[in-house]
Amino acid sequence: MAGVRIRGLAKRFEGKVVLEGLDLEVGDGELLTLLGPSGCGKTTTLRCVAGLERPDGGEIHIGDRLVASPAAGVHEPPNRRGIGMVFQSYALWPHMTVFSNVAYPLRIRRRDRATIRRQVLEVLAAVGMEAYAERSVTALSGGQQQRVALARALVAQPQVLLFDEPLSNLDAKLRIAMRRQIRAVHDQAGAASVYVTHDQEEAITLSDRVVVLDRGVVQQVGTPRDIYRRPANRFVADFLGFENLLTATVVGGGGDRVGLRLAGAGGGVMASSTHPRLAGETVVLAVRAGDIACEPVPTAGSPGDPAGGLLGTLVSTEDAGDRVERTVEVGGQRLLARSPETEGDPDVLRPGDAVLVRVAPTRAVALDDTGARPAETRPHHHRPAASTREGT
């Protein structure tokens, strides 16, 4: 069995805790992304798997092989772990040609010349760089260098592929093309891949599973869709671009659907919840701006109904070309609504007008008010308790 298994991984740098009790499993053929802000421990985790860093606690298995366990005194050096790695800085060796760079892992493994030549050209062809084999790597563009780095990681057919923010030095257009290439290469190699990034879009589009990390603690593990639509807590919602995080009170409902009320905002909102909640509980209502619509207040409405929407006052309107963004004040909290251009003529609603805010019921999420999930191990983990989130 290939794949990577991490149990209770811990790492400190000069007394500062970077990772604590991290558990992860990456299956064969799976592409797992570690997502989080800088300093969250994602790169450290990757480097521990590579053997470039020695963990202070826990165990790492690659396949059936125990490669790191400080307790058992095991530390396999990186050169014996059978991995391929793509570095953020490409890390191509400047004194070698493209061919020599890619051939290096095979030369280390003492393959014969003919095999090396065949395999190197094969893998260069796979990344579209076969024409550049004899070039100096310093003469290549950033995208080309990244392709060579990818080829070098693949050439020895490792069981495990590691990617350390490989696209962060490329421009936006190139990044999308390279993303597809990395996915294709991963599918073809059938390896267990661990991919580190701080870019949520990259994580969502590329991965089979995403692990969101903050300050060395796993916040959520799930499919890209899960992470994107149903964040587990306030941190994940914020990091994945939920523009509106509002304070709300549970008024009813059971199971995974709850009715919420915002103080001073008239009606209410339906939201999904990961677990049943008690009436009167304070929660965070997380909703993306694109899932909120604004309309003029109808003269004869029934604003007491929870599904009837929220009453607010339009603060400002921003015309962003193909869409319109509106800031609305709802009972002292501000929220951001975004609608396609055709739906809302910017002139219909003016600042100061009363508006009815409708939240798509399947898209709103009720979250615990407190921070990270393993709150008991890291009680200090709170984001600043701002109850209002202003859209810009």
Partner 1 sequence: MPADVAGSARTGAWRGRRRAGRPPRRITPGLLVLCALCLVLFVWPVLMLAYGAFRTAPPDLGGSFSAHGFLATLSDGSMWQAFGNSILLSGSTVLLSTALAVYLAWTVTRTDTPLRRLVTPMMVMTFAIPPLFFTLSWAMLGQQPVGLLDKALHALFGVAPFNAQSWYGMIGVSVLAATAAEYLLLLGPFLALDRSLEEAALVSGARRLRAFVTIELPALAPSILGVMILGFVLGLGFLTVPLLLGEPAGIYVLPTEIYRLIDGTSPANYAGASTLSLLLVAVVLVLVAAQQRLIGRRSFTTMTGKSFRRERLRLGKARYVGTAVILVYGLLALVLPLGQFVLGSFEPYFGVYKHLSLVNYRTVLGTAGTGSAFWTTVVVAVVAGFCASCLAVWIALVGQRSRSRLRRLPDLSLWLLWAVPGITLSLGIIWAYLSVPGLKRLYATQWIVLLALVVGTAPIASRALSGPIGQIARDLEEAARTAGASAFRATVGILLRLVLPAFAVSWFLAGIVASGNLDIPILLASPTNQTVPLVAYNLYDNGSLAGAAAVFCLLLAGIACVLALGAAVRGVLGLRARRLLGGDRAPQGAGTTPAGGVG
Q: Is the CB of 152 or the CB of 175 nearer to partner 1?
A: 152
Give the nearer residue to partner 1 in terms of CB position, either 11 or 234. Answer: 11
Report the C-alpha gap between 126 and 178 in whole angstroms.
13
Minimum CB distance to partner 1, residue 369 (Å): 32
Output DSSP code: residue 79.
G
- Nearer Cβ to partner 1, position 81 or 373? 81
> Nearest to residue 357, comparing CAs of 279, 301, 318?
301
| DSSP H/E element including 125 | helix 113-126
Give the nearest distance from C-beta 11 to partner 1 in angstroms: 11
Cβ 166 to partner 1, closest distance in Å? 12
- CB contact at 8 A, 324 and 339: yes
Helices (H), 249-308: none
From the list 101, 100, 60, 102, the residue with the least C-alpha distance to 81 is 60
Residues within window 16-55 making contact with partner 1, judged by CB under 8 A: 43, 47, 50-54
Instruction: Please choose, out of 149-157, 186-194, 288-296, 353-361, the segment that lies near partner 1 by the rule CB under 8 A.
Output: 149-157
| Separation between Cα atoms, residue 180 and residue 195, nearest integer Å | 14
DSSP β-bridge partners for residue 323? 340
Place of tokens 């910017």: 346
115 makes contact with partner 1 (CB under 8 A): no
Q: Kindly write out the interface string for residues 153-192 of this chain, putting x where it contacts partner 1 by CB under 8 A and - elsewhere.
A: x--x-----x------------------------------
Question: Closest CB to partner 1 among 80 and 225?
Answer: 80
Which region, left, alpha or beta, applies to residue 165 given φ > 0 means left and ψ of -120 to 50 means alpha?
A: left
Binding residues for partner 1, total number by CB under 8 A: 35
Handedness of CA 374, 377, 379, 383 (dihedral sign): negative
Give me the 287-326 binding string for partner 1, x by CB under 8 A, dash otherwise: ----------------------------------------
Q: How far is Cα 55 from Cα 217, in angstroms, rounded to an integer?
A: 15
Nearer to partner 1, 145 or 247 (CB): 145
* Shortest spacing between CB 357 and partner 1, in angstroms: 39
Selected binder of partner 1 within 5, 42, 111, 152 (CB under 8 A): 152
Please report, to the nearest 10 degrees, the dihedral formed by the alpha carbons of residues 26, 31, 37, 43 taken in order: 60
Instruction: Name residues contacting partner 1, limited to 53-112 (CB under 8 A).
Output: 53-54, 77-85, 87-89, 91-95, 104-105, 108-109
Measured between alpha carbons, how far is 224 from 209 in angstroms, rounded to an integer? Answer: 6
Least Å from the CB of residue 83 to partner 1: 6
In angstroms, what is the minimal distance from the CB of 340 to partner 1?
A: 31
- Positions touching partner 1 (CB under 8 A) are 13, 43, 47, 50-54, 77-85, 87-89, 91-95, 104-105, 108-109, 138, 149, 152-153, 156, 162
